[in-house]
Chains A and B, each alone.
Chain A
């Protein structure tokens, strides 16, 4: 048996989504198995695992009622919030004024480079979200 099929170790850090991480953490906390939850909401075990690992995006909202019933502690508000944070964001710049276009492109570039300092992030967020 040993060594007949290859197995591997990988040092690649997986990239989970907020939605997937929230779902898994809640499931483990509630002591529900992957098998139980996938069966309860009627999706394959492989698919649910892929959602949790971030290989796939958030589950469609049509599955959320099933999730909420299967995993105590899960909330619709947090599912919605983490789903929004786990999806690509598209902005239509075509009709925006030139300076708004500049702002969006500059922000997108810096977001991609992840090179804003904590202080810069704080200042930007204070301007963009003054009430929070």
Chain B
């Protein structure tokens, strides 16, 4: 399988956090509307089993022959579908672990690619290729966009405001993500300061 980032880096059309937050709320309103009403962890295993396939997104465990050295791979498939392949241990974690932080974040990151980037890859829409080491602004970097979008889906601002406290541990526990991912998301929302290691703003 080809790797679209092997010989060059892609620059996507720019997406702001405000745009990604709005898109994230739209995704939740269809896939799990209750997640917009109160802070709650998303039912990722349920999305995989019951919701995503109806939208042509198929998440499945795969071996090294397909994944190589990757943790996960999103593949354009057919006319309107896409495959998200993940390591078997991640697949098992989703069903058996109480806090499968990494597996949950990785799957939602790949779902973000499926929503934001697969349609563009399929259509050959306006994307620029640049040299692998060339600087790409974060808001145009597909990996940054996918992580930021995953954060907006997993930890929507609307329900963050309902938490009693806005520290990383509270956020991580409420949404079943790692403290590191929670912190990165709060920073993107500009409500966390690394210097003070604490919340600096109000939502």
Interface residues in chain A, defined as those with a beta carbon under 8 Å from any beta carbon in chain B: 1-3, 5-14, 16, 24, 28, 31, 33-36, 45-46, 49-50, 52-53, 55
Contact = CB atoms under 8 A, between A and B. Distances in A.
A28 B106 CA distance: 23
A35 B73 contact: no
Given A13-B76, A33-B48, A6 B70 contact: yes
Contacts of A1: 101-102, 105, 178, 180-181, 184
A9 B147 contact: no
What 6 A-B pairs have minimum CB-CB distances, sorted nearest first?
A: A49-B60, A33-B49, A5-B71, A28-B53, A12-B1, A14-B77
Contacts of B50: 31, 33
Given A2-B105, A13-B78, 13 more contacts: A1-B102, A6-B71, A7-B73, A9-B5, A9-B117, A12-B75, A12-B76, A13-B77, A45-B91, A46-B61, A46-B62, A49-B60, A50-B63
Contacts of B70: 5-8
A121 B61 CA distance: 39
B60 A10 contact: no
Given A1-B181, A24-B58, A8 B74 contact: yes
B76 to A, nearest CB: 6
A10 B75 CA distance: 5
A34 B178 CA distance: 27
Nearest to B122: A11
B7 interface: no
Instruction: Tell which of B49, B60, B65, B66 has the most Cβ of chain A within 10 Å.
Output: B60
Instruction: Tell which of A5, A34, A49, A55 has the most Cβ of chain B within 10 Å.
Output: A49
How extensive is the interface on chain B, given as a class? 35 or more
Contacts of A6: 69-71
Contacts of B4: 8-11
A94 B2 CA distance: 40
28 contacts: A1-B180, A1-B181, A1-B184, A2-B105, A2-B181, A5-B71, A6-B69, A6-B71, A7-B74, A7-B109, A7-B143, A8-B4, A8-B72, A10-B73, A11-B4, A11-B76, A11-B121, A12-B2, A12-B76, A14-B76, A14-B78, A16-B78, A28-B53, A28-B54, A33-B48, A34-B49, A50-B66, A53-B60
Interface in B105-138: 105-106, 109-110, 113, 117-118, 121
Nearest to A25: B53
Contacts of B110: 7
Given A1-B178, A31-B50, A33-B48, A10 B91 contact: no
B6 to A, nearest CB: 9
A52 to B, nearest CB: 7
